[in-house]
Each structure stands twice: as structure tokens, then as C-alpha cells.
Structure 1
Amino acid sequence: MSSNWKNVNNWYWVNKNCLNWAQKYFAEQLEGLKTEKDGHTVSIIKLDDCSGDVDLNMRKGKIITIYDVSLKLSFQGELVDGTEVSGSITIPEVAHDSEADDYVFDITINEDSSAKQPIKPVIRKQLQPLICEKLGNFADDMIATHRNDVYIDPSKLNNPAATA
């Protein structure tokens, strides 16, 4: 076994840009989420935008996620009376140091009217927790997917101190 000349013992900072992966990830995880309450239904139909920074890092043998993105989602819904409602949900900051309670959800209804307002509580109380659950899995899923790109398993390193 030989030592890895690029990053002996996983000591030096290694970085991987994961923004493209994050864009696909959020589309896969969020598009199609749907819920209903009292006959009102709503679903996420598209991830319109995911922009910002998403990096997986390794330093001194520790995997570190650093990300800060904004998300814009399109939704479609139907009220119990058959009124169709569409619009967008913007989450201006999804960051590595954010908790579910920190997320801000800006809801915009297309052709807004008082008749379409009943969709907002369904989004806030039913759909938002589903979105937060998906966002909560993001860092662990990024590590699971990209860990081997930034971290060398210690068993593959030539470490004389460990074998002595």
C-alpha cells in the first residue's frame, strides 16, 4: 500500500462543488410533493430555480458541508369548490447552519384573489413540513453521495504509525 501523495492522512482541505447535483437533488425530492386538507389539494410541480453555493469539504479528516441556496418552486392546487390555484413558493435561504424553524416561505398566488386564499394555510400547515423534511435530509444525502470524492478511507492510506 502506498500513501496518497495528494492528501496524506486526509489532512489538507479538499473541496467539491456540488451545485449541479443539488439542483437535480432538489428537483427529485421536491417535485411531486403533494398534500390535502379539508378537500383542498396542493402539489409542487416544478423546481424553477436553485441558485447559490453548495460545497462538500474535507479538512483534517472531517467531512464538512457548506451550502447556502435559494429555491423557487411552482405549485398547483385545487380548492374544495373546484377553484384552481397556482403560484410559487420561494425559500430565500437554505443553508448548512439553518434549522427547519429558520426557513422563510414566501408564497405568491397567480391572479391572486380572496377566493384563492384558502390554499395558503394548506401550504403552510401541510406542505411546508413535507418540504422541511426533505431539506433536512440534504446534508446527509450529499455526504453519502460525494464522500468518496473528498475523503480517502484510512484503510487505503499507508500510515506507518497505524500499522506499527
Structure 2
Amino acid sequence: MSNWKNVNNWHWVNKNCLVWAQTYFTDKVVGLETEKDGHQVKISKMDECTGDVEVCQRKGKIITIYDVNLKYSWEGVASDGTKVSGTIHIPEVAHDTEIDEYVFEVTVKEEDTLKRTIRDIVKRHLTPLMSKQFDMFSKDLISHHGSDVYIQADQLGTPAPLRQPTPL
């Protein structure tokens, strides 16, 4: 008997995975930290994750289609003990974005010379760690949700028998 839901995985099937992505981008990015010249910075919170995230299957191929807007809060401590905080906005993490193409808009609260130095550490040393996590997203998304849209060959069953034409 054939699988009546999606014969031979031919038809378009998609699954909305935005809620899973929100958890993923929180778990994988919040807590990332780095240190440079005695200054410490880390991602403290995900403030926003909006957009579209789908795992799709068409003609037997699993693909991801996503485009999300992310906002994070960061905090740091300068080598002299001064506390610093700010935000990182990534306007687009998308299925067709390469690891070196992510745009990071880094801000610092109450800007001065020392705090700009800390902000620059976030830009140069913390955002590359974030890019690595974003680059793994597609593979992890397929690994976690691919089986929800694709029927393995051994689960398809046998084809339905052909019907004999009815005599007129």
C-alpha cells in the first residue's frame, strides 16, 4: 500500500519551526563570551527573534527556508571593573546568508572612550562566535525536524495495485 499523504515524497510539505528557532538561538548564543586585554564581554539575553523559519520537502529533497531578525543584550566588565552593556541587532539571519555576510549593529549604553573600546571587542571578538552558531542553524534545523516532512523509503510501503479499466 502506498503512502497516501505524500506519494514518493513528491509534493511540497513544510513545517513552521519559528518557536523551535527562538529556543535554539537562545540556547546557542546566550552565554557566549570572550575576553581581550582584561575586558570581558558576554551575550546576556535574547530580546527578540522574529521572522520565518520552515523546514520543507519537495520532490524528495529537504530544504530550509528562514529569515529571522535577532536582537540580543550584552554586558561586559572593563579591566578596571567598569560595567558596560548594550545591544546587538542582526537584521537578517537567512538561509542564503554566508558566514561572513551577517550584519551586526552593536550599540553601547552611555558611550564614552572606555565603553567604545568594550563595544569594539564585542564587534571584533564576540560577533564571530555568534556567526559560527548561525552557520550551524540550517544543519541543526534539518537534523531536528527533517523527519517531520520527509517519509523514509522503508516507510513508504508498497505501491497500490493498478486498477483494471471497467468495461463499457
TM-score normalised by length of structure 1: 0.94
Distance, in Å, in 2 between the alignment partners of 1:159 and 1:46 is 50
User: Partner of 2:2: helix, strand, or coil?
Assistant: coil
In the alignment, the residues of structure 2 paired with residue 96 and residue 75 of structure 1 have an alpha-carbon distance, to the nearest angstrom, of: 25
Structure 2 counterparts to residues 105-116 of structure 1, below 5 A: 105-116=104-115
**Cα-Cα RMSD:** 1.0
- 1:108-127 superposed matches below 5 A: 108-127=107-126
Structure 2 CA distance, aligned partners of 1:69 and 1:83? 33
- Partner of residue 21, structure 1: 20
- Matched to 1:101, the amino acid is D
**Structure 2 Cα separation of the partners of residues 55 and 116 of structure 1:** 39
C-alpha separation between the residues in 1 aligned to 2:13 and 2:23? Answer: 23
Cα distance in 2 for residues equivalent to 1:112 and 1:103: 24
**Which AA in structure 2 matches 1:118?**
T
SS in 1 for 2:79: coil
Give the % identical residues. Answer: 55
Query: Aligned equivalents of 2:16 and 2:42: distance in 1?
Result: 30
Q: CA deviation at 1:55?
A: 0.6
Cα displacement string for residues 53-102 of structure 1 (whole angstroms, at most 9, x for unaligned residues):
00100000000100000100000001111111001000000000001111
Provide runs of 4+ in structure 1 moved above 6 Å: none
**Which has the higher Rg, Structure 1 or Structure 2?**
2
Q: Give the helix-richer structure, 1 or 2.
A: 1
* Alignment partners' CA distance in 2, 1:82 and 1:111: 16
SS for the counterpart of 2:28 is helix
| 3-state SS of 1:98 partner | coil
2:89 pairs with 1:90: yes
Matched, 1:61 2:64: no
Alignment of 1:1-164 (within 5 A): 2-159=1-158
Larger mean CA deviation between 20-29 and 116-125 belongs to 116-125
Unpaired runs of 5+ residues, structure 1, are none
TM-score w.r.t. length of structure 2 = 0.92
The answer to whether the 8 A contact 2:107-2:119 is kept is no
Distance (Å, rounded) in 1 between the aligned partners of 2:142 and 2:158: 25
